[in-house]
Amino acid sequence: MEFRNKEAIYLQIANHVAEQITLAKWPLEEKIPSVRDLAVELQVNPNTVVRAYEFLQNKAVILNKRGIGFFIAADAKEKIMAYNKERFLNQDLPEFFKRIYLLDITMEDLAERYKAFVTNYSSK
């Protein structure tokens, strides 16, 4: 995983975990990697993974079963989608609209590229 400079690493890790859940790579109600295991896999400090897990726990995406580990909530996918949708609509979309306006990109251009993206992404 390559980290971006504009966002806190723990949030990027939380997004990575959320993506694994959304793509069903990590099944609902199943145990997720331990803090230590994920820290080793991502080559980060375990405290950073702890922060990411705490963030997800506060959003009720994962649950801590004391002595056993962290598990994915049964409704995690819905909570992730709601959070990400709200975040996208309020933060990312206005910036996106500004950029396409300034670059004079048409909706037809976007539709064409979006179709190509979906085709390419769904074949992975």
Q: How confident is the model at residue 113 (pLDDT cuts 50, 70, 90)?
A: very high
- Please tell me the predicted confidence (pLDDT) of residue 3: 87
Q: CB 70: neighbour CB atoms within 10 A?
A: 19
DSSP letters spanning 30-71: SBPPPHHHHHHHHTS-HHHHHHHHHHHHHTTSEEEETTTEEE
* % pLDDT > 90, the chain: 90
pTM: 0.78
Average pLDDT of the chain is 94
Question: Quick one: average pLDDT of 30-38?
Answer: 96
Please write the tens of the pLDDT for every residue from 88-112: 999 999 999 999 999 999 999 999 9
